[in-house]
Structures are given as C-alpha cells and as structure tokens.
C-alpha cells in the first residue's frame, strides 16, 4: 500500500506548495535495518472508503512518545475527512501502546492564513492539545567532507536515483 500512500503524498505536496520527498524516502522506513529492535516502531495507517485510499500517516513510536512523520490525503474525497479519522485512530492506538504524547508535527507559527502551513495549523489545533515551537531539524555531520559533498549535491537540484 506504500505506492498508494505515496500518491497521496504527491497530491498533498502539490496542494500545499511544498516539494515532495521521494518514494525511497518512505520505503527505507520499512527496510530490514529499520525493523531492528533498537529502532523505534513505525506505524503505517490508511483510511479508505472501499478501494479508495483517502488518507494515510506514518508514525514513529519510541518509548512513551509517538510522532507523526508524515501525513497525506487524497485531493478527491476530502469531504469524507479521512485525515481526521486516521489521526483519531492513531491517538487511540499509541495510547494503547503506552504513549503519553502524540506529536502531530509541523504547524505554522500562528493562526496566519497567509502562512503555507496554516492549513495544517487549523487541522491539528482542531484536536486540542498544546503547540510546542521547536528550533526545527538539524544535521549533525559525522564527516565534514562527505556532508559538504552531500549538501552541494542536494543544492544542485539533482535527484537521487530510486
């Protein structure tokens, strides 16, 4: 079902104006090394009506914390609110697993409709909870020369092969 989820990721990215990740980016979460017990558990949930996948999410569970790594929804059938259903199921599922927190991920800094993440802000604040602003994701290179080569490659706009 990963290709169906990925198609929803492409639709979500296009709809919200951000660049999509590659299919490989998601499939590596389910590769053999990622299934090793020292890694957090990855949950993959889909909401569907019949054969139509409406929405999906990937959640990392580590100890008593859960974090939504990626969420996506189909452009058609959004009125069926698959994203709401899937996140509610996720909340119940991670609570059953003993999690005390469920981080739904990025939102805009405030309720500004002009911000590109405002739709996510509106959606996620509808569940209640608290907004926690963090400094974002940071890279910690282990090899400066390899990291520099990677950043140059990434900045060139070239795509990694699948």
User: Which domains are assigned to the chain?
Assistant: 2-155 (3.40.630.30)
pLDDT score recorded for residue 8: 92
**In whole angstroms, what is the distance from residue 17 CA to residue 85 CA?**
24
Distance from C-alpha of 77 to C-alpha of 11, rounded to nearest angstrom: 12
Q: Which of 24, 55, 46, 4 is nearest to 160 (CA)?
A: 24
* Closest residue by Cα to residue 80 from 100, 103, 116, 50: 50
pLDDT higher than 80, residue 90: yes
133-142 tens-digit pLDDT: 777 666 767 7
Could you give the residue ranges of the DSSP H alpha helices within 40-130?
82-96, 118-125
In sequence order, the β-bridge partners of residue 49 are: 52
pLDDT single digits (tens) 29-83: 776 554 555 445 888 999 999 999 999 999 988 889 999 988 899 989 888 999 9
Q: How are strands ordered across the β-sheet holding 41-49?
A: 41-49, 52-62, 65-73, 101-103
Question: Taking the model in full, what pTM does it have?
Answer: 0.72
Q: What is the pLDDT of residues 2-16, one digit of tens each?
A: 889 999 999 988 887
């Amino acid at each position: 079902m990963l290709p169906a989820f990925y198609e929803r990721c492409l639709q979500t990215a296009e709809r919200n104006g951000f660049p999509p990740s590659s299919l490989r980016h998601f499939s590596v979460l389910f590769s053999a090394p990622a299934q090793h017990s020292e890694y957090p558990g990855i949950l993959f949930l889909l909401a569907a009506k019949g054969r139509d996948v409406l929405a999906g999410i990937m959640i990392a569970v580590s100890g008593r914390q859960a974090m939504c790594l990626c969420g996506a929804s189909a452009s058609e059938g959004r009125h069926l609110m698959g994203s709401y259903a899937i996140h509610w199921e996720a909340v119940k599922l991670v609570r059953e697993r003993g999690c005390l927190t469920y981080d739904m991920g990025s939102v805009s800094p405030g309720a500004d409709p002009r911000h590109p993440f405002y739709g996510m802000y509106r959606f996620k604040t509808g569940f209640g909870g608290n907004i926690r602003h963090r400094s974002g994701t940071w890279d910690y290179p282990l090899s400066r020369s390899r990291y520099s080569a990677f950043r140059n490659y990434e900045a060139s706009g070239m795509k990694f092969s699948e």
